[in-house]
Copies of this chain bind each other. A is one copy, B any other.
């Protein structure tokens, strides 16, 4: 199977962009896209490397899902409507079983979010997946890291924050779980669900947002730095799954606060009655649970307290690829 056969068989044949939005898709030097008048164009690239972002044990279908999911999560964090993506893929060899599974996971998720594969590249080399996603927001309505205001409530989406990290600890041999529990948290790690609908529902409402890829504390830290504010976080308020809640408290904190790979949204919004009601309505409309976990404060830095408002002395670092 040659490069062009591979592209045709596994990717071009399953890419059916709307001709209105993508008049020229896969198969020319560039894709041609019609931006919607009045909208801004949002772009993000993520690269996934074996051993860093996924383990060699992951099923190809889940890998295809995750590669697009982590990119869609960046669009979600900005409140953008997904439009198009490119895929650059380096593979040791043209393995048909791998490619068929990878493409299925990729396109199942793409179709669910109405986003079309419009181009890319394939080459031989160490396994590496680079996706660039593009989306749109009405002018000036992108959710950014820089808009948090003192007094804002801080929220996190979902009910399984930290499960991905717990799964990683099991793979590393530093935690043990029964088979069914392991499957549950492994799914969180390998099949994250990007919070696209929630991001859309938070447009014009959330004042700042980011997705949790490197760990809650580190990612919230980016909001604080970009907004020039501080925060107080109630560690006991973090949502956690039944599996994580059954672990000892230190591991719960490690996974929930510094885990990473969650792809939930952390965001801030006005704390008045109307603000809280609007967030609850956005969560309900998007079918995404959200949990209030803290407050934006003027004093720089991030303070952790427990449910009784007592300081927690912890030292968690966010994930850094070069530390």
Contacts and interface: CB of A to CB of B under 8 A. Distances in A.
B42 A33 contact: yes
Interface string A111-146: 000000011111111101010101101010010111
A32 interface: yes
Given A31-B44, A44-B31, A322-B2, A52 B123 contact: yes
Contacts of A146: 28
Contacts of A90: 47, 49, 128
Total identical chains: 2
A243 interface: no
A46 interface: yes
B28 A144 contact: yes
Contacts of A144: 24, 28
A125 B122 contact: no
Interface in A195-241: 209-211, 226
Interface stretch (A60-68, A77-85, A156-164, A269-277): A77-85
A29 B121 contact: no
A3 B322 CA distance: 5
